[in-house]
Amino acid sequence: MAIITVAGRKGGIGKSTIAGNLAGEFLARKRSVVLLDADPQHSLAAWAAQGQGVLSTCVQTVPDGDVAKLKAQAKAAQKAADIVVIDTPPGMPETAYQAMLLADVILLPCGPSPLDLMALQQSLALAEKARAARREKKTRIRFVPSKVAMSTNLSKALPATLADMGRKVLPAISLRVALAEAVESGLTIVEFAPGSTSHVEFDALAKAVVRILAR
């Protein structure tokens, strides 16, 4: 039973897209999943409400900034599911920190913008603080290149730039229209466009996370 926290101090870096589609990939692999929507915008809940996809079966909202509720829901979810995925708010560092303290794996998405990289430094510091606090169990911290457009130099350089920051880099997620269309339909990418480039990317990301959990 594992907890995966998706976090970042900056909005618009694809946290909810990654959390929701990773949940879809795990469900497609016949894992039971609870997806905790701890962002006050409740983007995952809105996504799930768009249709009758798998997210409608696993998304649970967490009251805004209620750390006690977050902990209680995460513990209850661990008893009910193989994997718990937590989507955190960008502007509430205490909520994100508490979600990191619960995590076996912390995923830190980062876009190619220099502003995204600046914000990532703050997210990484928070994640390392949480990792240090969990002395009994080593939390894995990984970067995820997000919203990349490989036609641009900034996107091409992003994986190497992230690697230089001292943490391993997982498969990248490209900026593609199919991901937005999937949300509009209330579906994850594996449901909306199986076999598409976006689905292949999320399949690779899910496989990488599963390998981490297996270790």
Work out the pLDDT band at 91, boundaries 50, 70, 90.
Answer: confident
Q: What is the pLDDT of residue 138?
A: 83
pLDDT digits (tens, 9 = 90+) for 53-65: 999 999 999 988 7
pLDDT digits (tens, 9 = 90+) for 23-33: 999 999 999 99
Closest CA to 5 of 160, 165, 209, 199: 209
pTM: 0.96
Q: What is the pLDDT of residue 197?
A: 97
Is pLDDT above 90 for 209? yes
pLDDT digits (tens, 9 = 90+) for 105-119: 999 999 999 999 999
HSE, side-chain direction, 13 A CA sphere, residue 112: 18
pLDDT digits (tens, 9 = 90+) for 12-22: 999 999 999 99
Q: Check if the beta carbon of residue 148 is closer than 8 Å to that of residue 154.
A: no
Q: Which CATH number fits domain 2-214: 3.40.50.170, 1.10.760.10, 3.40.190.10, 3.40.50.300?
A: 3.40.50.300
Q: What is the pLDDT of residue 136?
A: 66
Show Cβ contacts of residue 126 under 8 Å, excluding neighbours closer than 6 positions. Answer: 7, 9, 93, 96, 97, 100
Average pLDDT of every residue of the chain: 95
Q: Lowest-confidence range among 53-62, 67-76, 80-89, 130-139?
A: 130-139
